[in-house]
């Protein structure tokens, strides 16, 4: 099947590469000509494990092409996938200018029967508004939200656990079955519903996961006050099959391009329909509170130091990505910098240029290695649980640091090992 994918970001590029990998012919279109030039040269403009190899396979097989020309992307396509950005506006609502802009472009070039697949996360009702954009053309609009996790997006794309489809006709459902047949050979993964339900599934899923995280962080703060250990509590709760262990890990809070944006969008959408989003609002507030919890722990450890130095291990919002959107590390850094604290950071993927764009040039220095970053530091905070940070040489670390406080923001380290090396251990909800 010939497919055009509009948008060469995380969702669009992964989607295009996965469709090409299973035999479809894919043209990926993006207005950013510099990005298209990089992709044609075999370079992926962001870090995602396994994606470079997948893109290279697609280009080598001639099943994956890149263009900045919307007309050529639409020409001959049977399916057009919309995977452009839907960023938040100041009031929490969703900016749909990109997705409506792409729809207008497609409308201007389409000459054949075409199915438009909406992959971007969009508010409920977007399918209906796009259907009106295409009124009078041979275009059908299907809602097909993505569930790609940064850091494991390729695996999620090639082996999805479910495929949510909001389609109105039998013909649309038949087309989807043909499109996704290579991904569903082992068992049925397609779940058909109305477009409105499909749009809400994405917001509901992300909000539920974020709720579990915020709840555990709130429980962790209480555990600290009463002398309980949240790790024991987490294991006991997770052993209940009705609860399970996923997303029960307390920490510094969630970030990234999805959870914060989607929660605010759902909060706004519910308010527009006179539903008081009490739980969603509380989840957002608790996540913001978690940054304050960590900053308070840091400040409490440096009260006697006139020129304190704090080092953060990890800048990306999660491991195996270079994405720093809504990254907890940068929120912690900003609050510390505003108080005159010197802050350094280490991260195996994130660049200094990325940090400067958010924090400002010359404010937060990125050091080439985590151990070098720790030299002379009063407090070290584990922010992102990169694999190489799981088992550091604590004895060596003690000789490098000026201070003796380690804040384990992901509860990854052994208190026994940390204290044996002469450190004060501070975890999240650890007694």
Co-location of 171 and 255 in the same domain: no
Would 117 be classed as within a structural domain?
Answer: yes
Is 170 in the same domain as 240? Answer: no
Which amino acids are annotated catalytic?
258
Q: Is the separation of the CB atoms in 44 and 54 below 8 Å?
A: no
pLDDT tens digits, one per residue of 225-234 = 999 999 999 9
Strands 190-193 and 163-166: parallel
Domain co-membership, 183 together with 232: no
Domain for residue 146, yes or no? yes
> Which tens digit of pLDDT belongs to each residue from 179-198?
999 998 878 899 999 999 99
Name the DSSP letter for residue 261.
H
* Together in a domain, 322 and 379: yes
Residues 185 and 257 placed together within one structural domain of the fold: no
Same domain membership, residue 275 and residue 171: no
pLDDT at 254: 96
Boundary (domain end) residue, out of 168, 193, 218: 193
CATH of the domain at 165: 3.40.50.720
Q: Do you know the residue count of the chain?
A: 431
What's the CA gap between 46 and 14, in Å, rounded? 11
Same domain, residue pair 417 and 273? yes
Among 330, 251, 320, smallest CA distance to 10 is for: 320
As a whole number of Å, the end-to-end CA separation of the chain is 57
Q: Using CA atoms, how far apart are residues 325 and 172, in angstroms rounded to an integer?
A: 35
Residue 314 lies in a domain: yes
**Number of independent structural domains in the chain:** 2
Q: Which of 169, 193, 217 is the last residue of a domain?
A: 193
The answer on 113 and 67 residing in a single domain is: yes
Q: Using an 8 Å Cβ cutoff, are 55 and 13 in contact?
A: yes
pTM for this model (two decimals): 0.94
Q: Which two tokens stand for residue 393?
A: 């040489």
The per-residue pLDDT for 346 is 98
Distance, CA of 212 to CA of 247 (rounded, Å): 6
Listed as ranges, residues in the chain with pLDDT below 70 are: none
Q: Are residues 314 and 272 in the same domain?
A: yes
- 75: phi then psi, degrees, rounded to nearest 5: -55, 120
150 and 279 share one domain: no
Both 161 and 252 in one domain: the answer is: no
What HEC string does 202-230 produce?
HHHHHHHHHHHHHHHHHHHHHHHHHCCCH
Structural domain of 374 = 227-427
What pLDDT, on the 0 to 100 scale, is given for residue 22?
97
Residue 152 lies in a domain: yes
Kindly state whether residue 158 falls inside one of the protein's structural domains. Answer: yes
Q: Is residue 210 part of a domain?
A: no
Looking at the structure, do residues 6 and 61 belong to the same domain, yes or no? Answer: yes
208 within domain boundaries:
no
Q: Is residue 264 part of a domain?
A: yes
pLDDT of residue 186: 76
Residue with token string 């990089």? 38
């Amino acid at each position: 099947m010939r497919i055009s994918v509009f948008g060469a970001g995380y969702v669009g590029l992964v989607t295009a590469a996965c469709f090409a990998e299973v035999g479809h012919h894919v043209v990926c279109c993006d207005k950013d000509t510099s990005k298209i030039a990089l992709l044609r040269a075999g370079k992926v403009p962001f870090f995602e494990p396994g994606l470079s190899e997948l893109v290279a396979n697609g280009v080598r097989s001639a099943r994956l092409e890149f263009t900045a020309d919307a007309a050529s992307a639409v020409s001959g396509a049977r399916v057009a996938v919309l995977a452009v950005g839907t960023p938040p506006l100041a009031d929490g609502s969703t900016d749909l200018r990109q997705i409506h802009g792409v729809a207008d472009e497609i409308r201007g070039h389409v000459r054949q029967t075409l199915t438009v697949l909406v992959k971007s996360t969009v508010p409920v009702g977007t399918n209906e508004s796009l259907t009106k954009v295409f009124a009078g053309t041979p275009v059908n609009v299907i809602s097909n939200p993505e569930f790609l996790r940064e850091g494991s997006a390729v695996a999620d794309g090639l082996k999805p656990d479910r495929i949510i489809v909001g389609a109105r006709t039998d013909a649309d459902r038949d087309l989807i079955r043909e499109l996704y047949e290579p991904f569903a050979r082992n068992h049925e993964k397609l779940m058909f519903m109305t477009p409105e339900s499909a749009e809400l599934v994405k917001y509901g899923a992300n909000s539920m996961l974020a709720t579990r995280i915020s709840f555990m962080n709130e429980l962790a703060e209480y555990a600290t006050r009463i002398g309980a250990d949240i790790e024991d509590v987490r294991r006991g709760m997770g052993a209940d099959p009705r609860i399970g262990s996923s997303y029960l890990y307390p920490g510094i809070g969630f970030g990234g391009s999805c959870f914060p944006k989607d929660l605010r969008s759902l909060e706004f959408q519910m308010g527009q329909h006179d539903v008081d989003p009490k739980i969603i609002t509380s989840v957002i507030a608790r996540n913001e509170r978690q940054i304050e919890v960590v900053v308070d722990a840091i400040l409490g450890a440096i009260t006697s130091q006139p020129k304190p130095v704090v080092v953060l291990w990890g800048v990306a919002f999660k491991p195996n990505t270079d994405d720093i959107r809504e990254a907890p590390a940068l929120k912690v850094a900003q609050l510390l910098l505003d108080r005159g604290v010197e802050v350094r950071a280490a991260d195996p993927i994130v660049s200094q240029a990325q940090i400067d764009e958010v924090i400002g040039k010359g404010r937060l220095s990125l050091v080439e290695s985590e151990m070098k970053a720790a030299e002379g530091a009063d407090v070290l905070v584990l922010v992102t649980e990169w694999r190489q940070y799981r088992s550091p040489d604590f004895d060596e670390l003690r000789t490098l640091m000026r201070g003796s406080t380690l804040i384990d923001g992901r509860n990854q380290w052994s208190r026994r090992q940390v204290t044996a090396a002469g450190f004060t251990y501070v975890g999240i909800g650890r007694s």
